[in-house]
Amino acid sequence: MRLDESAMNIPINLNDYTPTILVVDDVPANLDVMVAHLQQENIELMVALSGEEGLELAKAKLPDLILLDIMMPGIDGYETCRRLKSDPLTADIPVVFLSAKSDEIDVEKGLNLGAVDYINKPFSLPILRARLNNHLALKHKSDMLIQLACTDELTRIANRRHFDLIFEREWLRAQRNQTRLSLLMIDVDHFKQYNDHYGHGEGDRCLKQVARALTVELHRPADLLARYGGEEFVVLLPETDFEDAEFIANQLAAAVEKLAIAHKKSTCAPHVTISIGLASQLPGSQASRQQLLKQADRSLYKAKNSGRNQVYGTMSAINEAPAAN
């Protein structure tokens, strides 16, 4: 998940929340009934006529809830549910079975597959609505908690925990697809002096402005900016080679300079600047994820040691032999 500004806009009022429900049923007439019943509600509906189509739609649209029939030609509802739950992308979407199969053993099977509820056909419309509303409210709360757990409180960008998760995922993807991956470690120059001189309130404001400027400068959906800690930021650039990463790094540095935040105690400029360490992973490299991170850190150290307010990166050092452990 990329944490952009729109994703941060969590609706506080449940009335502003328009959940999406995917209804999967092989009988078009059943779908028509559901659409007719649920359409008046503040709900967006999508329909699929088979388990396969349901899986495709679920992955593409990530609905807030899936109403799933069991008896369908092709893959049945149980198998559809099993596949939804085994895919990390769709595993957290609540599934509600809606089925004419009402034996205890069927209900138990459905719930054991991870469904949050099992409703028998024919159903009572008010009870169906009430149950769906309860499940949607829970899903909404859980989405908000996940969002909070991924977000840095001060800057509202991704936090280090979220970065670690995405870095691991992108790292595996790059290995699998033999693509390049670059990392930028960013440090606000002489930030301690800034804080000491202007006070912590201004320090916080400065970090927020820097985070905002960096966010605006990163245009591609897969790029991830996170607060790494204190005045340190990290940028993950999937499918990006050294030259492109260097270009982006220079743009980020320019964007921060353009903020022109006065910094009387800086020795590099009269305003706030950043140092950036760059590390780029070559396809097929044996270096580990931790080594790439360490390399970016070393580059940052060199950028700071060479007078700050600059980008430092090396490509060659990446092809190190893997660590013995």
Stretch that binds Mg ion, among 62-70, 164-172, 240-248, 273-281 (CB under 5 A): 62-70
> Taking CB under 5 A as the rule, does residue 217 contact Mg ion?
no
Q: In Å, how far are 61, 81, 135 from 96, measured between CA atoms? A: 17, 9, 9
CA 34 – CA 57 distance, rounded (Å): 17
> Taking CB under 5 A as the rule, does residue 69 contact Mg ion?
yes
> Taking CB under 5 A as the rule, does residue 71 contact Mg ion?
yes
> Look-up: residue for tokens 């909404």?
140
Q: How far is the CB of 103 from Mg ion (least distance, A)?
A: 16
Catalytic residue flag (residue 243): no
Closer residue to Mg ion in complex, CB, 102/319 = 102
> Taking CB under 5 A as the rule, does residue 26 contact Mg ion?
yes
CA 279 – CA 276 distance, rounded (Å): 10
Q: How far is the CB of 63 from Mg ion (least distance, A)?
A: 19
Looking only at the bridges linking them, the beta strands covering 232-238 and 224-229 are: antiparallel
Stretch that binds Mg ion, among 69-77, 149-157, 267-275, 300-308 (CB under 5 A): 69-77
Stretch that binds Mg ion, among 6-14, 19-27, 210-218, 311-319 (CB under 5 A): 19-27
Query: What are the tokens at 185?
Result: 């470690």
Q: Which residues contact 307 (CB under 8 A, 6 or more apart)?
A: 268
Q: How far is the CB of 232 from Mg ion (least distance, A)?
A: 54
CA 246 – CA 269 distance, rounded (Å): 21
Query: Cα-flanking dihedrals φ and ψ of residue 184, to 5°?
Result: -120, 125
Closer residue to Mg ion in complex, CB, 71/254 = 71
214: left (phi over 0), alpha (psi -120 to 50) or beta: alpha
Q: How far is the CB of 16 from Mg ion (least distance, A)?
A: 35
Number of residues that bind Mg ion (CB under 5 A): 4
The three-class DSSP label of residue 121 is coil
Identified catalytic residue from 41, 231, 246, 257:
231
- Residues engaged in binding Mg ion (CB under 5 A): 26, 69, 71-72
Which are the catalytic amino acids?
A: 231
